[in-house]
Amino acid sequence: MPRLASSAIVERAGRYLLVRRGNPPAADLFAFPGGRAEPGETPAETAIQELFEETGLAGRNPRLFETVELLPEAGVTSSHFLLSVFQVETDDATLACAQSDALEAGWYLPEEILELPIPDSVRACVLRLAPELSDRGAA
């Protein structure tokens, strides 16, 4: 049975917030801030909490954007997740700083994101956010 996880898409002036992960799964990959749900948290609460823990940004008004099943890596059943991805608003004046297991945080244009090492789930979301880049979507 998959474990629950959530992530937060934050956009400012056409750029999206990504963090570089410090821990498995997805260590050293760039992704939207997110992580595993704590017991009793709703998926939206997880997205807001993980955004704050990894970047210091206080999120609000989460809107479900996508739900993705992340299948386990070969022989690693603990890597099976049901990921809820939310679009989240933040105060534009607040700076994002890498915290928790995030090694760095930055704002990227969709075309820049496609050039970074990212999980397939992030690639799929970026192509939905910027459909004009769909011809560049193949890894």
pLDDT band for position 72 (cuts 50, 70, 90): confident
Closest CA to 14 of 136, 111, 138: 111
Q: Is pLDDT above 80 for 137?
A: no
pTM of the model: 0.91
- pLDDT value of position 139: 46
CATH of 3-136, one of 3.90.79.10, 3.50.50.60, 3.40.50.300, 3.20.20.20: 3.90.79.10
Q: In 3-state terms, what secondary structure has residue 66?
A: strand
- pLDDT value of position 24: 76
pLDDT tens digits for range 90-116? 999 899 999 988 999 999 999 999 999
Mean pLDDT of 30-54: 96
- The domain limits of the chain are 3-136
